[in-house]
A and B are shown apart, each in its own frame.
Chain A
Amino acid sequence: MSNAPKSLFQKVWDAHTVRELPSGQTQLFIGTHLIHEVTSPQAFAMIRELGVPVRFPNRTFATVDHIIPTDDQSRPFSDELAEAMMTEIERNCRDHGIQFFGPESGAQGIVHVIGPELGLTQPGMTIACGDSHTATHGAFGAIAFGIGTSQVRDLLATQTMAMAPLKVRRIEVTGELKPGVFAKDVILAIIRELGVNGGVGYAYEYAGEVFDRMTMEERMTVCNMAIEGGARCGYVNPDQTTIEYLRGRRFSPSEDEFEAKAAEWLALASDEGCHYDDVVTIDGSKIEPSVTWGIHPGHNLGVSEAIPGPSEVPDDDRAGVEEALEYMDFSAGANISGIPIDVAFIGSCTNGRISDLREAAKVARTGKVKDGVRALVVPGSVAVQKQAEEEGLPAIFTAAGFQWREPGCSMCLAMNPDKLQGREVCASSSNRNFKGRQGSPSGRTLLMSPAMVAAAAIAGEVVDVRKVATED
């Protein structure tokens, strides 16, 4: 073994390498495999057909999030297809001895919310899930990948997958964020800077003063959207914030071995002087509250800016900007601030955690949801829901005219009954503004931070949250 300085990515990759495959790819051991109801049933069918068992049922954990209703969760679900998917994951977990965090477990929630809160996500792990937002877990200094169903099959059968190593790009965000600027704005700014496919072939290492100061939940929001910038994986080096978050969680190391583990975790951080394939620096003090105006997350701008026209972008982006303006029915040159909204959605694996709901509630206290706007608050998990109840947040939201729902993915991708109708415009704390993403083929999504969504719900239009007087 060489003593050359290594990045965290390299250390974790090396520790999990089973062997080099004849193709030149690496056979990588995945320590924690998370599954949910949408991308796993076909994989279980495939291993049944192959006649192989689940190799590491003790390192496979399941929940239900995508299809679960957020109004009435009593069984059977009113949607027969949703009920069939639920029954299938229950059966598969039972048959293979996999721990299932369903609603009755008291620990159900969006897979990328419950992993961290249960302490299943720890520094130095490899984690995979049939969901592209798996990079969320990188906030802990884990290497976490979104995968397709064939790879879910590979993991069930072997707990390994074939993968080529990634390059590492360090993204340093320096300085201090201005008030009203959140983790969501940081990742939108990164995607705006590097593009929606700038991260292809890379793992993103997020660093710099802004990340050093962030809470774990804020780091999760940034890592969550690595894939929106094309990067399959993003991470933050573990530090004292990581350690304190993990102390005392259900699957965290026990008290008597915790300090020793914590020391091991800290040692995983990228070594001084290690090789990076690329380094990018972004001035955090220049980031504004951001809003998307188009049909992918790279189509975003500061709330004080005007929507760009085709002539203002590089040639290669022109057709995309024209397509986006046409779909959104927005005019080039118009301010994003003042665009009317019909729906407000607070939730998702990006921004459905307790700190997100607290920030939104601060804004919700200042007024009432505008007449004609439908506003939903969907906690990311049962634990988030309970914590919010203890803090009295549901009462604040409902008094302001928001609906307070049961946990799930909900209107982020609208596989449950929570959907946009027709051409509705939704201010959303989720992660994708693709055409039709929120359940209506012609629906329109504006991504922003939870506080910005709450402000938009009250104003009935996109507003700068910095102009909302909250008691802080």
Chain B
Amino acid sequence: MSNDTLIKIEKIDGRGCVVRGDDVDTDRIIPARFMKEVTFDTMGEHAFEDARKDAKGEHPLDQERFKGSSILVVGQNFGCGSSREHAPQALMRFGFQAFIGGSFAEIFFGNCTALGLPCVTLSPEDLSAVMDAVELDPEQNVEIDVQSSKVRCRAGEFEAGIPAGTRKMLLEGSWDATRVLLEAGDQIEQTAAALPYVQLPA
């Protein structure tokens, strides 16, 4: 992903896919044995691999009706456990561009933001309505409006939770943080020099 261009994320829409259940951990999203790679290139092939094998073709990621979906709808505390960015990388490379859930684990959420993948939350009632609607009619368009913090689908329009800072980063295109951080220039060395344990590099 190039740092030269700002990619502003105001709205994401597409078909949804529903993975139910709470506390889905990153080991389940990408089992550790598939992380033995020095790139993220192959991660998409192994998204939810063990859960999918176990479900014998019935896992939502394998169901014909959800083919080509770009928004993953999940439960509470999605992405808990390991800090591995391999997890959002796997889901992104599988084809997902955003997540709607009850809540997200903190590191997973940060990793997604760094990749430009919005994670928005809904109240339990609204989430349940969206999950039911998408399962009933997977062809419908699901829209995440970052600008107005809304989720829209045929079931209606719902107030979506997204922290103000994250929302701003997505809207301004500053979610790819390195460039923004580099802009601090010498301020970084000034902060470092005031710390008792840091010596500036030669």
Which A residues have a C-beta under 8 Å from some C-beta of B? 15-19, 21-25, 27, 29, 31, 38-39, 41-42, 45-46, 50, 52, 55-59, 66-67, 79, 81-82, 84-85, 88, 122, 124-125, 130-132, 134, 146-151, 153-154, 157-164, 196-197, 200-201, 227-228, 230, 232, 261, 264, 295-296, 298, 316, 319-320, 323, 413-415, 432, 434-437, 439, 441-442
Q: How far is the CA of A324 from the CA of B106 in the complex (A)?
A: 23
A residues in contact with B110, CB < 8 Å: 147-148, 151, 163
B105 touches A21 (CB 8 A): no
Most buried by A among B27, B54, B191, B202: B191
- The 0/1 profile, CB within 8 Å of A marked 1, for residues 86-106 of chain B is 101000000000000001011
Contact indicator A23/B169 (Cβ below 8 Å): yes
Least Cβ–Cβ distance between B48 and chain A, in angstroms: 11
A18 to B193, CA, bound (A): 11
Q: Are A56 and B192 in contact (CB under 8 A)?
A: yes
Question: Which single member of A42, A154, A413 contacts B38 (CB below 8 Å)?
Answer: A42
In the complex with contacts A160-B181, A415-B33, A25-B165 CB distance below 8 A: yes
**Could you say which interface size class chain B belongs to?**
35 or more
Contacting B187 at CB < 8 Å: which of A19, A132, A227, A295?
A19
Known A-B contacts A150-B85, A159-B188; the reply to A415 vs B177 at CB < 8 A is no
| Stretch of B57-65, B75-83, B127-135, B150-158 on the interface side | B75-83
User: Which residue of the partner chain B has the closest CB to A51?
Assistant: B3
When distances are taken between beta carbons in the complex, the residues of chain B under 8 Å from A134 are 83
Q: How far is the CA of A228 from the CA of B5 in the complex (A)?
A: 37
Q: Is the CB of B174 within 8 A of A19?
A: no
A130-B89 Cα distance, complex, nearest whole Å: 15
**Complex Cα spacing A42 to B35, Å:** 11
Identity of the chain A residue whose Cβ is nearest the Cβ of B75 in the assembled complex: A319
Taking a contact as CB atoms closer than 8 A, the residue among A125, A323, A415, A435 that contacts B32 in the complex is: A415
Given A164-B163, A164-B165: A38 touches B184 (CB 8 Å cut-off): no
Interchain CB contact (< 8 A) of B178 among A38, A50, A56, A230: A50
B114 touches A148 (CB 8 A): yes
Which of chain B's residues have a CB closer than 8 A to the CB of A45? Answer: 38-39
Does the CB pair A22–B174 fall under 8 Å? Answer: yes
User: Does chain A have a CB within 8 A of B28?
Assistant: yes
* Inter-chain contact A439/B33, CB cutoff 8 Å: yes
Known: A148-B83, A149-B85, A197-B23. A435 touches B28 (CB 8 A): yes
Contact A22 B177 (CB under 8 A): no
CA A401 to CA B63, docked complex, whole Å: 48
Does B182 sit at the interface, judged by CB under 8 A?
Answer: yes
A151 touching B114 by the CB < 8 A rule? yes
Bound CA span A158–B166, Å: 20
Given known contacts A159-B192, A296-B23, A122 and B197 CB-to-CB distance under 8 angstroms: yes
Given the known interface contacts A434-B28, A435-B50, the answer about A154 and B177 at a Cβ–Cβ threshold of 8 Å is yes
Q: Which residues of B contact A39 (CB under 8 A)?
A: 83-85
Asked if B165 contacts A24 (CB within 8 A), the reply is: yes
- Cα-based distance from A227 to B81 in the complex (angstroms): 7
Q: From residue A316, how far is it (CB to closest CB) to chain B in Å?
A: 8
Pairwise interchain contact A31-B197, C-beta atoms closer than 8 A: yes
A161 pairs with B181, CB closer than 8 A: yes
Nearest CB in chain B: distance from A239 CB, A: 19
Q: Which residues of B are interface residues toward A (Cβ below 8 A)?
A: 3, 21-23, 25, 27-28, 31-33, 35-40, 50-51, 53-54, 76-77, 80-86, 88, 103, 105-107, 110-111, 114-115, 163-166, 168-169, 172, 174, 177-178, 180-182, 184, 187-188, 191-192, 194-199, 201-202
Q: Considering the chains assembled together, what is the distance between the CA atoms of A435 and B51 in angstroms?
A: 9
Q: Would you call A157 and B201 a contact (CB within 8 A)?
A: no
- Known contacts being A158-B182, A159-B188, A162-B180, is A31 close to B195, with CB within 8 Å? yes
Q: Please report the C-alpha to C-alpha distance between residue A352 and residue B45 in the assembled complex, in whole angstroms.
A: 34
The answer to whether A201 and B106 touch across the interface, beta carbons within 8 angstroms, is yes
Provide the bound-state CA to CA distance between A84 and B50, in Å.
25
Q: Which residues of chain A come closer than 8 Å to B196, judged between CB atoms?
A: 124, 261, 264
Residue in B50, B76, B114 whose beta carbon sits within 8 Å of that of A436 in the complex: B50
Contact of A434 among B25, B165, B181, B198 (CB under 8 A): B25
Which residues from chain A contact B166 at a C-beta distance below 8 Å? 23
Q: Is the CB of A147 within 8 A of B107?
A: yes
Residue of B nearest to A50 (CB): B3
Contact B53 A441 (CB under 8 A): yes
What chain B residues lie within 8 Å of A21 (beta carbons)? Answer: 165, 174, 180
Alpha-carbon separation in the docked complex, A27 to B165 (Å)? 12
- Asked if A81 and B37 sit within 8 Å, CB to CB, the answer is yes
Given A18-B187, A164-B163, A414-B32, answer yes or no on A130-B201 (Cβ-Cβ < 8 Å). no
Q: A24-B168, A41-B38 are in contact. Are A162 and B23 (CB under 8 A)?
A: no
Please give, as numbers and ranges, the residues of chain A lying within 8 Å of B38 by CB-CB distance.
41-42, 45, 84-85, 88
> Which of B163, B178, B192, B194 is in CB contact (< 8 Å) with A153?
B178
| Chain B: minimal CB distance from A295 (Å) | 8
Q: Which of B33, B177, B196 has the most CB atoms of chain A within a 10 A radius of its CB?
A: B177
A sample of 19 cross-chain residue pairs with beta-carbon separation below 8 angstroms, ordered by A number, consists of A18-B184, A23-B168, A25-B169, A27-B184, A29-B188, A29-B192, A42-B85, A56-B201, A58-B201, A79-B36, A82-B36, A85-B36, A124-B196, A147-B107, A158-B178, A159-B192, A197-B77, A197-B80, A320-B23
Q: Chain B nearest CB: distance from A6 CB in Å?
A: 17
Which of B35, B80, B107, B166 has the most A CB atoms < 10 Å from its CB?
B80
Question: Quick check: B31 and A436 within 8 Å, CB to CB?
Answer: yes
Considering the chains assembled together, what is the distance between the CA atoms of A45 and B41 in angstroms? 13
- Additional pairs, 9, CB under 8 Å, beyond known A161-B177, A414-B32, A415-B32: A16-B195, A42-B38, A45-B39, A81-B37, A84-B38, A200-B77, A264-B196, A319-B22, A434-B27
Q: Once the chains bind, are A22 and B36 in contact (CB under 8 Å)?
A: no
Whole-angstrom CA separation of A21 from B188 in the bound complex: 13
Partner of A232, one of B82, B107, B195: B107
Q: Measured between alpha carbons, how far is A101 from B174 in the docked complex, in Å?
A: 35
Contact (Cβ within 8 A) B106 A232: yes
